[in-house]
Structure 1
Amino acid sequence: MDSTAFEAAVSDLRGEIPPRVWSLLVTVFGDLAQDGSALPGTVLGEIMSRVGIKPEAMRVALHRLRKDGWIASERAGRSSLYRLTPEGRAQTVAASPRIYATDPPAEAAFLVLTDPASPLEWTRNDVWVTPHAVLTAHPPAGAEAFATPVDPDRSLPRWMRDKTCDAMTVALSADLAARLTRTEAALATAGAPDPLQTAALRVLIVHSWRRIVLKVPELPDFVLPAAWAGPACRAGTARLLQRLPAPGLDRLSAAA
């Protein structure tokens, strides 16, 4: 892939909001070394430089991730190797089904009315639409709550749907859907990217979707706001990752 086309694709995928470097590195490890494999510092540096991250910023971010227990490092001759810690890997594995899913996180939703005198346990994926009514994909058992299924062919009131996802996240989803479409079109006319270009593009695609989807409750798309572009983002991400299969660490090391 020629440098002009690659740089244009990177610029478009990065968007107007610069990514947090430490978070971008988490995406690198999650996408390329989720199994606990070690990434050489030279490979990390080459990938990050291709997405516009300076070496100093990468070093600061790596220090933060080591301090926070996300990654561990070791010397290998004159260079360093980095890998996810067991805790970092556990959190990465836990988030992966949401990020790489090709289907919605749930097929059904229920509106549950609760008894204020008998509080039930709920999770972050349940959305309270009134003080005593919650939208959930998993209604509680027992007689202390009344659950009614939400009909996917009959839209909920807008005020309910708007409570499931904040307006900024909804806007970001629409923006990402457009950027993914442009990236697909650009790749259709460009030459094949080399391993480091492929890794860089994958990281930006996964990271862009990750920073949106992990903010959204695990509910069916039909109860989210009408402007939610999650289905288009999910499908576009899947198509692009299929088009850009992750290069093995041996190929990345040889290219670096």
Structure 2
Amino acid sequence: MQNNQKINDWIAAFLSEEPPRSKSLVMTIFGDSVVPHGGMVWLGSLIEMLAPFGVNDRLLRTSVFRLAQEGWLGSQRDGRRSNYSIMPDAQRRLARAYRRVYSPLTTHWSGNWTLVLGTNGLDAAERASMRKELLWEGYSVIAPGIACHPAGDAEALEALLQRMGMLNKVYVCQVSELPGVRGKPLADLVAEGWDLSDVIEGYTKFVARFTPLLEELRSAPEPIAPEQAFVVRTLVIHAYRRVQLHDPQLPVELLPTPWPGAAAYELARELYRVTWEPAEQHILATLRREDPDAPTAAAAFYDRFTGLR
């Protein structure tokens, strides 16, 4: 199989116009490509994986060093060689994040709201940290000391509070509208609590940018080459992840219609289905150049995007 020149041109244009930050790209490759194969990669293989994106040896070493300092990666040496793997706590956080990426946006509303109360009892640093983490999980601060979400993930919230040492410092409860009492329309609460304009713009831009790529892949006379498929698959997940992880994951009943996230998900899924198999050939060959025993993808890998097989 030979590289498709039109796809090469698309990749070159994308990397020129929207060059991904190397540290973020390393995490995309770990989450999408390394974790399914055991979660460990030798530095030489990682250098080879990052090379097609214009990330050189020096920049990669700086990125993994910083990720290790931040607690995302751990490293080990074997003589002159070193390898990197996801730390256990980071692995759990990464798994939750990527579960969102590969799952359809079809959360339905039960009519209940998850509330996190009592943040006024925290000191300033704790309050700022809690606010940042809750916003990242899609919550909205609707009043001083009160954050809410209409489809809060209990497991993710429990892990967040435990990680921050705040399990016994805030109240968590579920509430619903009181029947017989007319309040403000829910649409107003959603509009006031969540500014979706950047997320809508991100999904719309993703669809506009990647639709021509899917058309080219479908019309190509030959199958895509393994390394080229790996680059495409990685860029798809990297770009989609950047938008999707800022999506507060509101239930479909509370979203504007039409919701561009649905089209973005379908596009990402189709691009992944076209590229995953040859990309896996490249990933496994690259990992096994330094680790002959690198495993094939775990069974859970094939559940991505509602099933790859």
Paired amino acid for 2:241: R
TM-score of the two chains, using structure 1 as the length reference: 0.76
How has the CA–CA distance of structure 1 residues 254 and 134 changed in structure 2, closer, same or farther, with 3 Å as cutoff? closer
1:103-140 Cα offsets, whole Å, 9 max, x none, are 42x1226486x9x9xx9xx95434467889966136x5
Matched with 1:8 is: 9
Matched with 2:224 is: 193
Q: Which moved more, 1:221-230 or 1:78-87?
A: 221-230
Q: 2:266 aligns with which of 225, 235, 245?
A: 235
Q: Which runs of 5+ in 2 are unaligned?
A: 121-130, 153-172, 180-184, 291-309
CA root-mean-square deviation: 3.7
Give me the whole-angstrom Cα distance separating, in 2, the residues matched to 1:17 and 1:50: 15
- What is the aligned-residue identity percentage? 23
Q: 1:183 aligns with which of 213, 218, 221?
A: 213
Give me the whole-angstrom Cα distance separating, in 1, the residues matched to 2:60 and 2:4: 22
* Structure 2 residue 150 is matched with structure 1 residue 136: yes
How has the CA–CA distance of structure 1 residues 158 and 6 changed in structure 2, closer, same or farther, with 3 Å as cutoff? farther
List aligned pairs for 1:51-70, cutoff 5 A. 51-70=53-72
List aligned pairs for 1:106-255, cutoff 5 A. 106-108=107-109, 110=111, 124-127=137-140, 136-137=150-151, 141=174, 146=177, 157=187, 160-161=190-191, 163-190=193-220, 191-225=222-256, 228-245=259-276, 246-247=279-280, 249-253=283-287
List aligned pairs for 1:24-35, cutoff 5 A. 24-35=25-36
Q: 1:147 deviation in Å?
A: 5.7
Paired amino acid for 1:220: P
Give the match's secondary structure for 2:138.
Answer: coil
Structure having the higher helix fraction is 2
Alignment: residue pair count: 243
Q: 1:15 deviation in Å?
A: 7.4
Paired amino acid for 2:138: N
Q: Is contact 1:66-1:72 (8 Å) kept?
A: yes
Give me the whole-angstrom Cα distance separating, in 2, the residues matched to 1:210 and 1:228: 17
Give the match's secondary structure for 2:84.
Answer: strand
Give me the whole-angstrom Cα distance separating, in 2, the residues matched to 1:130 and 1:147: 19
Matched with 1:95 is: 97
How has the CA–CA distance of structure 1 residues 102 and 11 changed in structure 2, closer, same or farther, with 3 Å as cutoff? farther
Q: Which runs of 5+ in 1 are unaligned?
A: 149-154
